[in-house]
Copies of this chain bind each other. A is one copy, B any other.
């Protein structure tokens, strides 16, 4: 019982069909689709072998077969085709990014929508991470006595705001001065660089209240960098309504609840940002909550440096060819657009 090519070809036909229909695939179906023509009996023999090899699973005796998780792995690594995205669609993607103007949150949100529309799967996208981009401007604006808002604008045109407490005796002018000064000092620097030591030197220079700097420091290092779920955009969860595997309400609920915990998703995507495109199938996922799903992610880059990530989460049965190609394309388009924004 060898790993011969025919077995793999048959496996591909089975998986292709299963991806499309979400139904167990029978020998007759394969026989009809398979080239060269083989009788269903022959296919049956091969399928029995594939089952013994752990690549197929029979839900019950008289059903067809369903690909096992390991089969999807082989499919992704060796079997699936390419050119799943038509030239027209490629042009569409390019146009989408050429036409786009707007702020970062919007761009990333639209990107998630685009991925979802293209793949018919829920899509996830991570906004450019602050500590991976550079500061463009920092502005502290008083709100009420005792509180001020820190607004940070990054080189990727991202705006992030947070509220900090400030001592009562700090005047608007002081906050303004600090804003100007910090902007001048740190503009163009990586946000990760705005660290305690440097703030120290600033403090010395301006002889300011150290509590205020402590607050600003905390604001930048914690509030702006700790994952709070607001950095991750989710679009297209309604796709799941059309998935046959979630036709039961409890199943659907289970699947959709995956997207509720934004902090968890954000952590996941922040991790994904560190790798090139990757496909994680079923319990290959470290996280238990993804154990019967597949996660496909790709980073996007500004001048070659990964600053964010996009991805798709869906059932193990998904059109891997289409999804991986889509993510690749979109990632590179997005990277280009974003690199335009940022003068190196």
Contacts and interface: CB of A to CB of B under 8 A. Distances in A.
Interface of A: 101-103, 136-137, 139, 141, 143-144, 147, 149, 151, 153, 157, 159, 161-163, 165, 238, 241, 247-249, 252-253, 256-257, 260, 340-341, 343
Contacts of A153: 141, 149, 151
A102 to B, nearest CB: 5
Contacts of A157: 143, 149, 163
A269 B259 CA distance: 26
Contacts of A103: 149, 161-163
A98 B257 CA distance: 30
Contacts of A143: 136, 157, 341
Given A139-B151, A241-B249, 15 more contacts: A101-B147, A101-B165, A102-B162, A102-B163, A103-B161, A136-B141, A136-B143, A137-B139, A143-B157, A143-B341, A149-B153, A149-B157, A241-B253, A248-B249, A249-B249
Contact of A238 (B102, B144, B147, B256): B256
B144 A340 contact: yes
11 contacts: A101-B165, A103-B161, A136-B143, A137-B141, A139-B139, A143-B157, A143-B341, A149-B153, A149-B157, A151-B153, A241-B249
The 3 closest A-B pairs by CB, nearest first: A241-B253, A159-B161, A143-B157
A136 B140 CA distance: 12
Contacts of A151: 139, 151, 153, 159
Nearest to A237: B256
Given A102-B163, A103-B162, A238 B257 contact: yes
Contacts of A248: 249
A205 to B, nearest CB: 22
Contacts of A136: 141, 143
Contact of A159 (B149, B241, B247): B149
Contacts of A241: 249, 252-253, 256
A159 B343 CA distance: 25
A219 to B, nearest CB: 11
A73 B161 CA distance: 44
A71 B31 CA distance: 61
A328 B252 CA distance: 34
Between A137, A141, A257, A260, the greatest number of chain B beta carbons within 10 A of the residue's beta carbon is seen for: A141
Nearest to A142: B136
Contacts of A162: 102-103
Contacts of A139: 137, 139, 151
Contacts of A238: 253, 256-257, 260
A141 B155 CA distance: 11
A128 to B, nearest CB: 13
A163 B343 CA distance: 17
